[in-house]
Every structure is written in C-alpha cells, then in structure tokens.
Amino acid sequence: MPAGCAMTTLPRPVRIQALLTSRAKLDRTAAPAILCFLHNLSDDGACVSFPDGAAPPERFDLFLEQGGQAHPVEIRWRDSDRVGVRFLDPLSDETLCRLLPHLGLAAGEGGAGDAPGF
C-alpha cells in the first residue's frame, strides 16, 4: 500500500461519492474507448454515466486511470442515463489510493471532485 494512504482504516466496502472522468471499451473490436463518468466508486463497483447516451453491453472494460489497466465490469442495474457496475476483480487498495487525489478527497471523506480528463 502506498505510504500515507489511510485505506487500512476504512471499513470495506468503501463507497466514495465522486465524479471521475474515465473511458469504457464497450466491445472487443478496434473501436476506441468512449468517454464516461464514474459516480459512487467503491472497491467492488461504481455508478457509470455515458454523456452520449451509449447503451453499454452487460460486460465491458472500464479504464479508471489514463494509461491504466482495463477493469472488466458487469452491469448490475440500469437507469435512464446511468448503470451500476460490479468490478469482476475488486479494485485493490493501491488502485483506490491512486485515485483518491484525483477525486479531490481524503480517505474516508464523502463529496465530489473532478479528475483530469484523458
């Protein structure tokens, strides 16, 4: 775990209310990943919205960090403009700690922040 990250003191699962610019790869073709926004991020899931009204398939890949690894997700629920996803492999404490500064939050705080775009 990165030095100075207080994730070990938080109960699991931790839900962080946030707005994080991300990318989603909706299919296995060469098509580029599309813009999306993450809300209510936790180690095991997130709420995702798509600004262009994209209709994601039941499973797709989510990129939380620029140049970062793909995180396979599965849709658990759908709303008019958002989907709730479950990470097929829960996020590591290290990944959550790397994301915290981009959310404008300290570990354990709620609220919203903006991350730099891709």
Give residue-wise pLDDT tens across range 58-92: 999 999 877 788 999 999 999 988 999 999 998 88
Chain centroid to CA 1: 19
The pTM (predicted TM-score) of the whole model is 0.73
Query: Is 60 part of any domain?
Result: yes
How far apart, in whole angstroms, are the C-alpha atoms of residue 91 and residue 89? 6
Which range marks the domain in which residue 71 is found? 7-100
Measure Cα distances from 90 to 28, 31, 71, 72, 86 in Å. Answer: 21, 26, 9, 10, 8
Higher pLDDT, 115 or 68: 68
- Please count the structural domains in the chain: 1
H-helix or E-strand containing 57?
Answer: none
Query: Is 105 part of any domain?
Result: no
Query: Is 42 part of any domain?
Result: yes
**What is residue 65's predicted lDDT score, i.e. its pLDDT?**
77
pLDDT per position as a tens digit, 9-63: 545 556 778 788 899 999 888 788 999 999 888 888 999 999 887 889 999 999 9
Q: Is the pLDDT of residue 6 over 60?
A: no
**What is residue 51's predicted lDDT score, i.e. its pLDDT?**
87
Torsions phi, psi for 42 (to 5 deg): -140, 175
Name the token pair of 46.
């997130």
Query: Is 107 part of any domain?
Result: no
Query: Is 54 part of any domain?
Result: yes
Query: Is 115 part of any domain?
Result: no
Query: Is 53 part of any domain?
Result: yes
Query: Is 92 part of any domain?
Result: yes
| CATH number of the domain encompassing residue 59 | 2.40.10.220
